[in-house]
Amino acid sequence: MNESVVWLTIFVLSVFVGIEVISKVSSVLHTPLMSGANAIHGVILVGAILVTGHAESTLALAVGLVAVVLATINMVGGFVVTDRMLQMFTARKKPVARGGEDA
Amino acid sequence: MIPVWVQLAYLVAAVCFVLALKGLSSPRTARRGNQIGAVGALVACVVVFFEGELDHLVPILVAIAVGSLVGVLGAQRVQMTQMPQLVALFNGVGGGAAALVALLELDEFVDAGTGAGVEEFALVATAFTVVVGSVSFSGSLVTFAKLQELMTTRPVIFAGLPVAFGGGLVAALVLAVVVVLQPALWVGVVLALLGLVVGTLLVLPVGGADVPIVISLLNAFTGLAVAAGGYVLDNTVLLVGGTLVGAAGTFLTLLMARAMGRSVAHTLFGALKGGSTQGAGMASDRPVKSAGPADVAILLAYAQRVIIVPGYGLAVAQAQHTLRELVDVLGERGIDVDYAIHPVAGRMPGHMNVLLAEAQVPYEQLKEMNDINGEFKHTDVVLVVGANDVVNPGARTIPSAPIYGMPILDVDQAEQVVFMKRSMRPGFAGIENELLFDPRTTLLFGDAKDTMGKLLNAVKAL
């Protein structure tokens, strides 16, 4: 089997899965979903690590390290901020005694 | 050759991403979903070190530590009201990272020499990642500037913008072909710069109220750039993760656009079609009826049914806690009070729910637009706090208005409407609201937090 076709198959199936899994999302969750998806594409960090690890010149190394920093910010920051949003969604389910943190 | 167990670990990560998106689309499982996604990403980022020999391990680990620190601090320190622009920023840096990765890979292709078995399709994917990543980077920075109000939130249009944008696109396409036929690093760099220009020109004409849709679209773009990067690097987790985000993000963009009653094309290019979409943008000096907190307190305290329409202005003033107290006091007087939440209240769909949840407003009191719109007819007083565009009847009646067609809360059907506003300045969309001049409307001017406190005391004193 042609290798490019294998990749194309993975791509096309992933498109359908991506649409299918979020097709029933309620508008309340649009923002956290966008933010969570945003964090997932931070996985470009894997690519950044690979190219930086193979860098042969100082310039390439420097550019690669910038990419690693940016990708990490995207991934780590993305998951943390999404969790912060969703924490509030779960917190309000049970009537919480009001703490003093927002006084 | 990548070890089989590493490839299997990538598969695990990819499955985590699917489960994450699935979890994120339902309120009960959303938080767990996000955590599963984080686990998947962590797995992928650990096993990559076992994929093969990697140099520069120490600088890479330091860079990861720096990025994590910045990301965590940014995510934890940000005010919830400013969250949309933070998401835009995170998306932008992700796109930038993808573009840089592709440029470095292009550099390796060039070093390997032409005809060294680098297939053309990999070069196509490289060029795609460079351009789309750059577009996402600069576009996201412009949306950030708009949301942070570092620049005007109204559409920025200048003569020749459509020509420049079209020209930029064509030039990018030509250069991409050059990269494929004659791979050279400098062409890739020019391509990236062109991407930055195109991304900027793409977002400049978008009006403030439409910015969330654009963030979502750019998010999908970054996803596709990452997917193409995965093909270039022979990495399945990048391909699957990026494609999932690209597909889900595109679909989400359409859903958001539908919630706001407009098409994505209109969002992006609507402002280019003519000046009429720009709106008034200035405070009007037509007569309005205004009142003090004491008058409004009486209005509220002797009503039977009250609906609160919270907007972004409420959150900016940090008045949501005082508002909740006011609602509690009204509730104790036996008044039936609910919050009407427009799908795009705040700055993004669902943003207002997050902001009110932070103020411990009970879930049951938050009513979505479609559930509550029928009830305004039977409502004595509607209190609009820091909202404007989402209750503007112009969305139904003025075809030239930028918000025309957006579903709105039918506040104008209520007996009395009280607007709590800082000034007569128009809303985020930059258009005037006829409802402000309606005889049934009362305006309560002042800072939302300050005025809300006075209103609360006045109601308590009755």
Q: What local confidence, expressed as pLDDT, does residue A99 receive?
A: 39
* Distance between CA atoms of residues B154 and B417, nearest Å: 27
A23 within domain boundaries: no
In a domain, A70, yes or no: yes
Alpha-carbon distance of A76 to B383, in angstroms, equals 40
Q: Per-residue pLDDT for A100 more than 50?
A: no
Task: Encode pLDDT of B347-406 as tens digits.
Answer: 777 788 888 887 888 877 888 888 899 999 999 999 999 888 888 888 888 887 777 778
* Contact yes or no for B41 and A42 at CB 8 A: yes
What are the C-alpha distances in Å from B46 to residues B10, B64, B238?
A: 10, 12, 14
Amino acid identity of B394? G
Q: How confident is the model at residue B417 (pLDDT cuts 50, 70, 90)?
A: very high
Chain B within 8 Å of A7 (Cβ-Cβ)? Answer: yes
pLDDT at B443 over 50: yes
Q: Report the length, in residues, of chain B.
A: 462
Residue A94 scores a pLDDT above 60:
no
pLDDT surpasses 70 at B87: yes
Using the Cβ of A101 and the Cβ atoms of chain B, whether some distance falls under 8 Å is answered with no
Q: Which of A5, A46, A58, A69 to mutate to test the interface with B (most CBs of B within 10 A)?
A: A46
Cβ contact B342:B309 at 8 Å: yes
Q: What is the pLDDT of residue B115?
A: 56
Neighbours of A20 (CB within 10 A): 15
Domain boundaries, chain B: 1-77, 81-275, 293-461
Tell whether A13 is covered by a domain: no
Token duo for residue B418: 């009280």
Residues of B taking part in catalysis: 389
CB B129 within 8 A of CB B73: no
Q: What is the mean pLDDT of residues B61-72?
A: 97
* pLDDT at residue B273, rounded to an integer: 62
Give the bridge partners for B443, in sequence order: B290, B419
Would you tell me the crossing angle of helices B4-24 and B236-259 to the nearest 10 degrees?
10
Report pLDDT digits (tens) over B126-162.
Answer: 999 999 999 999 999 999 998 888 888 788 888 888 8
The torsion defined by the Cα of B409, B413, B418 and B420, in degrees rounded to 10, comes to 20
For residue A98, tell me if it sits in a domain: no
For the segment B42-46, the average pLDDT, to the nearest whole number, is: 96
Chains A, B: CB contacts within 8 A come to 377
Rounded Cα distance, A61 and A51, in Å: 9
Band of the pLDDT at B119, cuts 50, 70, 90?
Answer: confident
Please count the CA atoms within 13 angstroms of the CA of B438 that sit on its side-chain side.
20
Tell me which chain A residues have a C-beta less than 8 angstroms from the C-beta of B75: 76-78, 80-81, 84
- Residue A76 falls inside a structural domain: yes
Indicate the CATH number of B293-461 among 3.40.50.1220, 3.40.50.2000, 3.40.50.620, 3.40.50.300: 3.40.50.1220
pLDDT digits 0-9 by tens, B277-295: 444 444 556 778 888 898 8
Res B208 pLDDT > 80: no
Q: Residue B278's pLDDT is what?
A: 42
Interface test with A, best of B16, B47, B226 (most A CBs within 10 A): B226
Greater confidence (A72 vs B446) lies with A72
- pLDDT given for residue A87 in this prediction: 81
pLDDT the model gives residue B429: 67
Chain B residues inside the 8 Å CB shell of A102: 321, 358-359
Query: Is the residue at A96 inside a domain?
Result: no
Counting the structural domains of chain A, the total is 1
DSSP for B21-84, written as a single string:
HHHHTSTTTHHHHHHHHHHHHHHHHHHGGGSS--S-HHHHHHHHHHHHHHHHHHHHHS-GGGHH
Is A86 a domain residue? Answer: yes
- Inside any domain, residue A84: yes
* Mean pLDDT along residues A7-23: 94
Sort out which chain A residues have CB atoms less than 8 A from B138's CB and list them.
none
- Identify the band that residue B116 occupies on the pLDDT scale cut at 50, 70 and 90: low
What confidence score (pLDDT) does residue B425 get? 72
The boundaries of the domain holding residue A49 are: 28-91
Is the model's pLDDT at B276 over the cut of 90? no
Average pLDDT, chain B: 88
B40: pLDDT strictly greater than 60: yes
pLDDT at B26: 87
Q: Give CA separation, B125 vs A93, B170, B177, B249, B374, in Å.
A: 45, 17, 11, 20, 51
Q: pLDDT value at position B117?
A: 62
DSSP-derived 3-state class of residue B333 = coil
Query: What is the reported pLDDT for B358?
Result: 78
- What are the structure tokens assigned to B71, written together? 């990301």
Residue A95: pLDDT above 70? no
